[in-house]
């Protein structure tokens, strides 16, 4: 059948494809050290699961308003007030089927053919694909390891043209873990206001911040900035709720109304039961966040320490999220374990999986050739065993 031009150039999500490849090998009975998906290994806290059961028992098993139940939208508003001092009304909130869906809604509401969307690289795999689906053009602006992979105000300003309709900012960043210093964020906000450029601020990793780094919501730099910002976040990463598929956007009423209308035509509401579970996540005890963060911090320390001790690898220390993103290009052209020689990150990952049974995601998928991404959202035991194998793979047959 003839496919539409929108989907004919679409590739599957590289993170999900890498995870599927690792899973296929596991199904053949091979022990695979899988560091592909950015997904907490913890089970969703019990009080959240209990709230889902209670919601089903109470009969909350029907359609809800397309943009989410009022209680959840109110809880989201209260959370942003309490945590960031930001005032939003429930009308300014749209609850969707995961933050990925929220991003698609924002792009569909704001971008179209002839428009340009500025994306700092390295960037999360789905950004460029979702921009292209709208017919707009992604404008990739490379950041450097030396700058901690943060976009500077000068770079932002230089990328703006009369076609620019949006900046996509991801703080903390997937895949680099970059947590923007507050002054850099403020400088970006200043440019956005001066040049009147809307900003999609993807803050899905907002709760995963490590020692020495800080988080500040982009909309919190004043009313003019808030008026240009659409925040995207959700429960997936912070509350270990990836499978529940709840994300949200907060933004100006004209944008949220357009996204609600879009959603009402496209998917109706996000799962009713997941919405009640998310309500319990936001309104219930928050100790689980600290407990999970402590585990992530311990794993981060371990992974960075190991990577630091492997010659030839380099990286910018991640201040947030749960990824180590490191440069393996010094190993290109040299014999690795099994005598294999590779000259790019994609072939590196394929060889690493086949020979050492360690699964990483290639930096090529994130617009960062020469790099690979390791998700440390998995146990210390698995990290230790996988890093031992990575080390042996890099050492080659000595």
Applying CB under 6 A, the residues found at the interface with ligand GLU are 13, 15-16, 37-39, 100, 124-126, 174
Pair of tokens at residue 123: 């960037």
DSSP per position, 334-385:
S--GGG---SSHHHHHHHIIIII-EE-EEGGGGT-TTEEEEE--S-HHHHHH
Which parts of the chain fold into alpha helices (H)?
5-8, 14-27, 46-57, 70-84, 99-110, 126-133, 153-159, 182-195, 223-226, 253-266, 272-283, 287-308, 345-351, 380-395
Scan residues 66-95 and list those touching ligand PMP (CB under 6 A). none
What's the closest the beta carbon of residue 157 comes to ligand PMP, in angstroms?
Answer: 24
- Please select the residue that binds ligand PMP; options are 48, 66, 94, 99, rule is CB under 6 A: 99
Binding mask 224-263 for ligand PMP (x = CB under 6 A): ----------x-x-----x----x----------------
Largest CA distance in the chain: 64
Contact 248, 236 (CB under 8 A): no
Q: Compare residues 329 and 364 and give the one whose CB is closer to ligand PMP.
A: 364
Task: Give least dist CB 369 to ligand PMP, A.
Answer: 20
Which residue's CB is nearer to ligand GLU, number 73 or number 104?
A: 104
Residues 102-131 that bind ligand PMP (CB under 6 A): 124
Cβ distance to ligand GLU smaller for residue 126 or 275: 126
d(C-alpha 264, C-alpha 324), whole Å: 38
Question: Which lies closer to ligand PMP via its Cβ, residue 38 or residue 198?
Answer: 38
Contacts of 335 (CB under 8 A, 6+ apart): 341, 396, 397
- Cβ 177 to ligand PMP shortest distance, Å: 11
Helix 70-84 vs helix 272-283: angle between axes, to the nearest 10 degrees? 30
Site string for ligand PMP, 172-201 (x = CB under 6 A): --x---------------------------
Contact residues for ligand PMP (CB under 6 A)? 38, 98-100, 124, 170, 174, 202, 204, 234, 236, 242, 247
């Amino acid at each position: 059948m003839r496919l539409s031009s929108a989907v004919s150039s679409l590739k599957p999500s590289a993170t999900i494809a890498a995870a599927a490849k690792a899973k296929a090998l596991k199904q053949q009975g091979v022990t695979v050290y899988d560091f592909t998906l950015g997904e907490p290994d913890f089970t969703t806290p019990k009080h959240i699961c209990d709230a889902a059961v209670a919601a089903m028992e109470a009969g909350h098993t029907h359609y809800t308003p397309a943009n989410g139940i009022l209680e959840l939208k109110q809880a989201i508003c209260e959370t942003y007030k309490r945590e960031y001092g930001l005032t939003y009304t429930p009308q300014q909130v749209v609850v969707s089927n995961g933050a990925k869906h929220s991003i698609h809604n924002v792009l569909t509401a704001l971008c179209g053919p002839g428009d340009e969307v500025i994306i700092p690289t390295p960037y999360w795999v789905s950004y460029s694909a979702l921009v292209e689906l709208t017919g707009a053009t992604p404008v990739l602006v490379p950041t450097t390891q030396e700058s901690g992979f943060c976009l500077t105000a000068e770079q932002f300003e230089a990328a703006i043209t009369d076609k620019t309709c949006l900046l996509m900012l991801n703080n903390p960043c997937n895949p680099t873990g970059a947590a923007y210093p507050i002054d850099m964020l403020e400088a970006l906000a200043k440019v956005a206001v001066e040049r009147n450029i809307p900003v999609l601020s993807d803050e899905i990793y907002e709760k995963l911040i490590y020692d020495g780094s800080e988080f500040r919501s982009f909309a919190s730099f004043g009313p003019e900035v808030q008026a240009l910002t659409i925040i995207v976040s959700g429960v997936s990463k912070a509350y270990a709720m990836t499978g529940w598929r709840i994300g949200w956007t907060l933004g100006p009423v004209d944008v949220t109304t357009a996204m609600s209308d879009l959603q009402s035509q496209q998917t109706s509401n996000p799962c009713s039961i997941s919405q009640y579970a998310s309500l319990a996540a936001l309104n219930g005890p928050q100790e689980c966040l600290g407990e999970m963060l402590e585990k992530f911090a311990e794993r981060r320390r371990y992974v960075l320490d190991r990577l630091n001790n492997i010659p030839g690898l380099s990286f910018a220390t991640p201040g947030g999220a749960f990824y180590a993103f490191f440069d393996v290009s010094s190993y290109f052209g040299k014999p690795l374990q099994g005598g294999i020689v590779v000259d790019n990150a994609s072939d590196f990952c394929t060889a690493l999986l086949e020979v050492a049974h360690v699964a990483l995601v290639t930096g090529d998928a994130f617009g960062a050739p020469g790099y690979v991404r390791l998700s440390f959202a998995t146990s210390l035991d698995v990290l230790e065993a996988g890093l031992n194998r990575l080390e042996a793979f890099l050492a080659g047959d000595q």
